[in-house]
Amino acid sequence: MSDVSSDEEEQLDFFDMGLDDRILKAIALLGWSKPTLIQEKAIPLALDGNDILARARTGSGKTAVFAIPVINKILTQKLVNTIDQKKTQAVIVAPSKELCKQLKDNFAQLTSCCSREVKCVDVACGEVQDIRPLLISMIPDIVIGTPAKLLAHIQAGSLFNLKKSLQSFVVDEADLLFSFGFEKDMQKLIENIIPKDGCQSFLVSATLNPDVINLKNLVLRKPIIIKLEEPELPKCDQLAQYHISCQEDEKFVLLVALIKLNLLRGRTIIFVNSLKRCYKLKLFLEQFAIRSCLLNPELPVASRCNVVDQFNKGVYNQIIACDEKCVHDPTARKSNKKGATSSKPKIDKDFAVSRGIDFQSVSNVINFDFPISVTAYVHRVGRTARAINAINSNITEGTVLSFVAQDEHKYFNKVKNAFGDAANFKPYAFKMEELEAFKYRAKDAIRAVTKDVIRSVRIREIEQELKNSERLKSFLKSNPNDVQLLRHDRATKRMSTQAHLKDVPDYIVPPTLKTRQKQISVMEKRRLHNQAELSAPTSKKSAKRSAKGKSGSNHGKPKLPTKKTKKTSHSRDPLKVRNKMKMKKRSKK
């Protein structure tokens, strides 16, 4: 058992770790130049067969700490034992479905050069009966899932002989498992899969709370504890933290002003504390022609993963997120009192936003609603100033802006006292009196977002998901009347929008920002002009080719009747014109 500090030593490279050549090739293809600090310290120890308890802050590249040793161990085992190749050797446990999907993608990238030898399956998404045939026929080397889904597959007989074949057991985001209500599932899972002789185990976490210590006693044997001596928040040169005191209604005004005046550059995650606030904020921004997406825990995991993918690809620059379990207080337990009823909507048990999911290239985090715990603040802030896709030790710069209402100052002071002067909180210098015109516009927009509008939008989303559901397709085919009920449901409440809100006239731009706004508009015009030039055909030949392609695409389609237009005089033959005129005169006579 040892604590590893971040003293300056000669940095170890991936090529010095004795990894399989196929893994090194995959690392090179990913562009990983150097390991992060946690990777440099933990991977060599894991390759020696030690149990690892790794604690490092969010965004430090913890996934590779267990992924690389697990893959390397499977490849080594297959080289030694050429007869018994088909068996499950590693089980990866994660608290949320989104995190399981992300882990599956990470393993796919690291096994890109040995995909035939190492096969990985994510069982978190989908039903047991649908995935069971795949597991039985393939017998994957690595299985990823939430504790509940893994236990369900073991009970259904999809995963068998794990007590004989298991070589590696990994628990990612270990400090969240018990808070998500997986305590009993984890105990049953450990009883069913861990061999009597034991296996190499990894516990990876951002914090070392009592739950992680309890789990360590259950899973690990003489572990090496890697606890890096690093602050919970990134350094001041990597992360700028601002706050602005405002009223509750002024939060909406501030956000619109920041986006419309181009003061927010890059991708932004906006955190709120409830699902209703998510919808209210999204519909409010829509009236100003600001496109955003939101993560709704009521919708299926496939839809949520699609939203994260679209955000990472740059389809949307703003994502509105809430995590009612994790954002408020990730360490809080659920109260299971008999007779207790809740009016809250049913939320997916395995949903988490502020932890685990890799939102790529996030420049800004906005705390629209301030979190009520220090832990939640740390995990929100961890979405920015991360190791670049966990690839190397370079850290992207990030900005955190917190809107602090009057009743939220007690939570802000709690966070400020927890980190002291090291956090370097700065007030955001913005004159609210210069936003009077934005205030009038925001009032109209907020008035339009009523409870009925929010409810109708949520119903519309659920109806759309029902129509697109793969599981319901066969049912809806045999019951067409139910489809008609979905289609001819009562009319949903539409939000009244005003066209003038989309534009930002010069007279409402604050005087201090007018010169900057002109520069940004000139730069935007240049960017649009360059895009138009790139998309336009470069020569006459290419223009003709594109015209031919368009005409070719309509080949075989019936031509629509077109009105004949009179030809101009200069395009006609003069002799033919004279003859026609003579014929007309003769016919009149």
- Set out the domains of the chain in order of their start, with CATH numbers: 17-227 (3.40.50.300), 236-327+352-449+498-528 (3.40.50.300)
* Distance in angstroms (rounded) separating the CA atoms of residues 195 and 165: 8
Query: Taking the chain (589 residues) in consecutive chunks of 10 residues, what is each chunk's mean pLDDT?
Result: 51 87 93 88 92 80 91 91 81 89 92 92 87 90 93 90 90 78 84 88 82 83 81 67 89 90 86 89 90 79 78 86 51 41 49 58 89 84 60 58 92 87 78 81 86 85 74 72 63 64 78 66 62 55 50 47 47 64 72
Residue 516 confidence (pLDDT): 63
Q: Angle at Cα 473 formed by Cα 105 and Cα 282, nearest 5°?
A: 60
* Distance in angstroms (rounded) separating the CA atoms of residues 205 and 331: 13
Residue 395 confidence (pLDDT): 42
Q: Angle at Cα 51 formed by Cα 59 and Cα 5, nearest 5°?
A: 50
Strand 120-122, strand 168-172: pairing: unpaired
Are the CB atoms for 5 and 26 separated by under 8 Å? Answer: no
Residue 486 confidence (pLDDT): 62
* Distance in angstroms (rounded) separating the CA atoms of residues 384 and 58: 9
How much of the chain is in helix, strand and coil states, percent to nearest 5?
Answer: 50, 10, 40
pTM over the 0.75 mark: no
Query: Which segments of 420-537 does DSSP mark as H helices, in order?
Result: 436-448, 451-468, 470-478, 480-487, 514-535
